[in-house]
Amino acid sequence: MYSKEEKKNFKIEFWNRFSVYMRKHTQKHGTINWSNYKTKIKDLYFRLDFTENEARFSIELQHPDSIRELFYEQFTELKVLLEKALGTPLVWEELYINEYDKAICRIYVVLPDVNLFNKDDWKKVTDFFENKMVKLHVFWMEYREIFKNLES
């Protein structure tokens, strides 16, 4: 069992290493904070989460209800293209209550049976996150304007 401070240090170390690792994509894609990706659309987030049970890559829509539904509908219209771009089927949750009791839409894929506190799992998770984020970035560069138009 790890102390609160030790857990915090594991998280900091993993995310710092991930950020350094992802710098190799700077020349091709420009400077991007891959672990805190800026979609440039209010309330639309690309999330990376790594716990003692799993790693999760997700798209979260946190808009007010009617706008959130509109954005989710647009993603569902692009579902085939998005899943093809990412190379995997995704889990589509039109209604998910997050840890802050806020209703959101979530589209995600999980890498099970990995543990943040086991450094032997870090390479596998880094590869998983890299694969999904780079592919999502390419998809996003092509389709972002569709979502930008929904903001108006």
Compute the distance between CA of residue 11 and CA of residue 117 in angstroms, rounded to an integer: 8
Compute the distance between CA of residue 57 and CA of residue 111 in angstroms, rounded to an integer: 8
Predicted confidence (pLDDT) per residue in 50-106, tens digit: 999 999 999 999 999 999 999 999 999 999 999 999 999 999 999 999 999 999 999
pLDDT on residue 151: 83
Compute the distance between CA of residue 90 and CA of residue 72 in angstroms, rounded to an integer: 14
14: confidence class by pLDDT, cuts 50, 70, 90: very high
pLDDT on residue 28: 77
Angle at 57 between CA 64 and CA 129, to 5 degrees: 145
